[in-house]
Amino acid sequence: MTDTAPRVLLLEQIHPEAEAILRSAGFDVESIGRALDEDELVSRVGDISLIGLRSKTHITQRVLDAAPHLVGIGAFCIGTNQIDLDAASERGITVFNAPFSNTRSVVELAIAEIISMTRRLTEKNALMHDGVWDKSADGAHEVRGRTLGIIGYGNIGTQLSVLGENLGMKVLYYDTADKLALGNARGCGSMKELLTASDIVTLHVDGRASNDLLFGEAQFAAMRQGSLFLNLSRGFVVDYAALRAHIESGHIAGAAVDVFPVEPKGRGDEFVSELRGLPNVILTPHIGGSTEEAQEDIGRFVAGKFRDFVLDGATAMSVNLPGLALPQVPGTSRLVIIHHNVPGVMATINGVLAEHKVNVEAQLLGTRGALGYVLTDVSAAYTDEMLDELRALPETVRLRVLR
């Protein structure tokens, strides 16, 4: 534990579970329901050790320069674009996020949409609201026995694979990386192979730049007559004008789309898209991961990372530091050093310890890019002078001592 309770600032209505976890760890927490702009942040972060935010608060170099005690930033969401990661790393500040707290929520929405489209619920529902009783089985199907083609077999894709099979679907997937096939799912050697064999095609690729317009005219054209299409991954991955053309021609029977290349900034702003006005297209405002369960899990997950990082130096699943966790040897103090990843640095650090006759009881090193991270448990007999020497090494970015 550090000598004084770390001060935590939580912004943007982070789930109360996060505050509860941090308070029970002895941290001093202040929660503010909204995002802060750069000037507000600069005036508030002077004594803050940990800051939690969602997508609307931007952590810039200027904010970081105003926060000399900051050791951790928590993105209580998935994306970390709102944080200047390079600037944070240069200052030895660890960044965490919650990469799979809302995976299940996205998968459940995809399943709901697949069944809705297969049963033509959106059209039936619209007709009923217009007073039309159109009882017929035409064009309505079971999902059982249909072939689900998943493009991007990561956290979401694999989870969907499991639930899809539970509903009796045959699952095909295509991923650019080698992936373990779950259950009876079968990997395809190319996207084309998947497209020509699937009744339902669903995109779950990540947002790397090379996925820009991954799916356009050629890919829609390769899909089966009467098949369904879903995109709950990223808007820029799909050419929606091409999708519209294939829906209007009747080649694609229905689509569900949750993400768009340009999305309105706030609630109530107009949504502009070529996909508006198509009866067999389900449009949702990027809510794949938006459930109360996901929000609670995000709060629990990132707050847990903060706690373990401050109390034990654990960095498992950090966005910018190597992921390390080491059980602390009883009766020792832990030195947590973030350093430049250069040859000889460990010899230099351990040389300082040896000079001061401080024994190393346990040590764990990881490196990532330009940074190294080392946890060292030492016998308690060390001096402030030794710590000052370690801090003054040109290789040291940041040193913390956990007692």
CB 42 within 8 A of CB 9: no
3-state secondary structure of 10: strand
Nearer to ligand NAI, 97 or 333 (CB): 97
Cα–Cα dist 312/294, whole Å: 26
CB of 263 to ligand NAI, least distance (A): 11
Strands 147-151 and 200-203: parallel
- Quote the least distance from Cβ 284 to ligand NAI, whole Å: 8
Q: Which is nearer to ligand NAI, 176 or 273 (CB)?
A: 176
Sign, Cα dihedral of 215, 219, 221, 223: negative
Name which of 64 and 257 has its Cβ closer to ligand NAI.
257
> What is the nearest approach in angstroms of ligand NAI to the Cβ of residue 178?
9
How far apart are the C-alpha atoms of 109 and 256, rounded to whole Å? 10
398 is catalytic: no
- For ligand NAI, the closer of residues 12 and 258 by Cβ is 258
Residue 396's SS3 state is strand
Active site residue 7: no
For ligand NAI, give the closer residue by CB, 231 or 396. 231
Q: In this chain, which residue has its C-beta nearest to ligand NAI?
A: 154
Where on the chain is the footprint of ligand NAI (CB under 6 A)?
A: 78, 100, 102-103, 106, 151-157, 174-177, 204-208, 211, 214, 232-234, 258-259, 286, 288-289
- The catalytic position among 263, 276, 293, 391 is 263
Q: What DSSP string runs through 344-391? A: THHHHHHHHHHHTTPPEEEEEEEEETTEEEEEEEEES---HHHHHHHH
HSE of 160, CA atoms in CB hemisphere, 13 A: 36
Task: Choose the catalytic residue: 23, 286, 300, 398.
Answer: 286
Burial of 36 (0-12, 13-18, 19+ CB in 10 A): buried
Residues 367, 322 contacting (CB under 8 angstroms): yes
Query: 323 near 110, Cβ under 8 Å?
Result: no
Side by side, which strands form the sheet with 28-31?
A: 28-31, 7-10, 50-53, 72-75, 94-96
C-alpha–C-alpha distance, residues 304 and 300, integer Å: 6
Smallest gap, in angstroms, from Cβ of residue 161 to ligand NAI? Answer: 11
| 51 or 151: CB nearest ligand NAI | 151
In the complex, minimum distance from the CB of residue 211 to ligand NAI, in angstroms, rounded to a whole number: 5
Catalytic annotation on 90? no
Work out how close the CB of 82 gets to ligand NAI at its nearest, in angstroms, rounded to a whole number.
14
Give catalytic residues, as residue numbers: 234, 263, 286
